């Protein structure tokens, strides 16, 4: 082939590549468009909730019980119920999840038994949430006789978010370098002392992130709580955890009936009366704001701790 023919061929290839590069640019535009569309939907969703619910945003909305009159109906029972259920969930899921993660990362020998636990944790993350509701209905509500109580709901959601907490904690623990452990062992620390004094403090950021993400998932869960038979119309609060006489605290509230924010919203959405849609929107806006806030905090915490630690 002559030199000029070669040069022409090269020219041809270059033109070809240039032509194909146009598609690169087109794809970048497509990718950005798709992402913007998704984020815009999120924005529209929030804006719609706020505008539909705007007429309900008032102090009374937070301090009123549900009512047959839409404009007088509030979310007092719902937000108190949600707070108490979240308290139980956090108190169960965080210790159990962190302990399980410590076991899997620091203690577990590499054998079939450990892999059984690991496979279980992974599978549980994929189980539909309503199936947890069925489990809780059969086990907590009837077998254990807890009834449709705050305790039963808290335990259900704790099981539901357990995989989230475990996975996040394991990741945090795994990122602590081996050298730190070995230095502590070298000074004569036992395994638990190494874990408690070195590994756990360094993993706090990751554990917190996992906890917040888990709770943000639990706070919006509706289906499992409906399944265990939570009521949607509750015009009273659970028993106060404080009482006059000794021992000053009461755990009666654990066994009280309750409702939560997402159930209250669902109840209002499914009413034919249009006026209740505003209540549903207002409750939804508050719920969504709480979820987004928790996720924001989780992102911030992860970022802060990542920045602070330099191995």
Partner 1 sequence: MFGSLRYRKNRDRLIEVGLLAAGLVAVFTTLAIVGILLYESSTFFQHVSLKEFLTDRLWTPMFSEPHFGIMPLVAGTLVTTLVAILVAIPLGTTIAIYLSEFAPHKVRESIKPVLELLGAVPTVVYGYFALLVVTPFLQKFVPGLPGFNMLSAGLVIGLMIVPYVSSVSEDAMRAVPNYMREGSYAMGATRLQTALRVVVPGALSGIAAAYILGLSRAVGETMVVAVAAGMQPNLTFDPRQPAETITAFIVQVSLGDLPHGSVGYQAIFAAGLVLMLMTLVFNLIGFFLTRRFREVY
Please pick, from the candidates 7, 8, 42, 235, the single residue that binds partner 1 as defined by CB under 8 A.
42
Q: Is residue 75 part of the contact set for partner 1 (CB under 8 A)?
A: no
Q: Is 64 in the site for partner 1 (CB under 8 A)?
A: no
Nearest-approach distance from CB 244 to partner 1, in angstroms: 36
Q: Does 21 bind partner 1 (CB under 8 A)?
A: yes
The reply to whether 91 sits near partner 1 by the rule CB under 8 A is: no
Both structure tokens of 22 = 């146009």
Given 107, 235, 240, 273, the residue binding partner 1 (CB under 8 A) = 107
x-marked contacts with partner 1 along 222-241 as a string, rule CB under 8 A: xx--xxxx--x---------
Tokens at residue 104, please? 């899997």
Region from 17-25, 77-85, 170-178, 237-245 binding partner 1, contact rule CB under 8 A: 17-25
Residue 76 contacts partner 1 per CB under 8 A: no
Question: Which among 54-62, 64-72, 185-193, 236-244 is the span making contact with partner 1, rule CB under 8 A?
Answer: 185-193
Q: Residues 86, 219, 234, 301: which binds partner 1 (CB under 8 A)?
A: 219
Identity of the residue, 190 or 240, whose beta carbon is nearer to partner 1 in the bound complex: 190
């Amino acid at each position: 082939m002559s030199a000029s023919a070669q040069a022409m061929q090269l020219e041809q290839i270059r033109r070809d590549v240039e032509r194909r590069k146009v598609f690169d640019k087109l794809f970048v535009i497509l990718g950005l468009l798709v992402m913007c569309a998704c984020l815009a939907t999120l924005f529209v969703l929030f804006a719609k909730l706020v505008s539909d619910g705007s007429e309900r945003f008032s102090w009374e909305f937070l301090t009123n019980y549900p009512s047959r009159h839409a404009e007088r109906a509030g979310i007092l029972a719902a937000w108190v119920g949600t707070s108490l259920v979240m308290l139980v969930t956090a108190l169960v899921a965080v210790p159990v999840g962190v302990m399980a993660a410590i076991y899997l990362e620091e203690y577990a020998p590499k054998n079939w038994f450990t892999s059984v636990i690991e496979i279980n944790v992974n599978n549980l993350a994929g189980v539909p949430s309503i199936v947890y509701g069925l489990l809780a209905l059969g086990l907590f509500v009837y077998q254990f006789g807890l009834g449709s109580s705050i305790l039963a709901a808290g335990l259900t959601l704790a099981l539901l978010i357990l995989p989230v907490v475990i996975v996040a904690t394991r990741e945090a623990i795994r990122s602590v370098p081996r050298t730190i452990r070995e230095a502590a062992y070298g000074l004569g620390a036992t395994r638990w002392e190494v874990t408690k004094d070195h590994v756990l403090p360094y993993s706090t950021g990751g554990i917190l992130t996992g906890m917040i993400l888990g709770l943000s998932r639990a706070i919006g869960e509706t289906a499992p709580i409906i399944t265990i038979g939570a009521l949607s119309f509750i015009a009273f609060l659970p028993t106060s955890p404080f009482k006059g006489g000794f021992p000053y605290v009461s755990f009666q509230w654990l066994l009280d009936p309750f409702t939560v924010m997402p159930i209250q919203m669902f109840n209002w959405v499914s009413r034919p009366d249009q006026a209740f849609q505003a209540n549903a929107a207002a409750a939804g806006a508050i719920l969504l704001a709480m979820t987004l806030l928790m996720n924001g905090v989780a992102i911030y915490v992860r970022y802060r701790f990542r920045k602070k630690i330099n191995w």
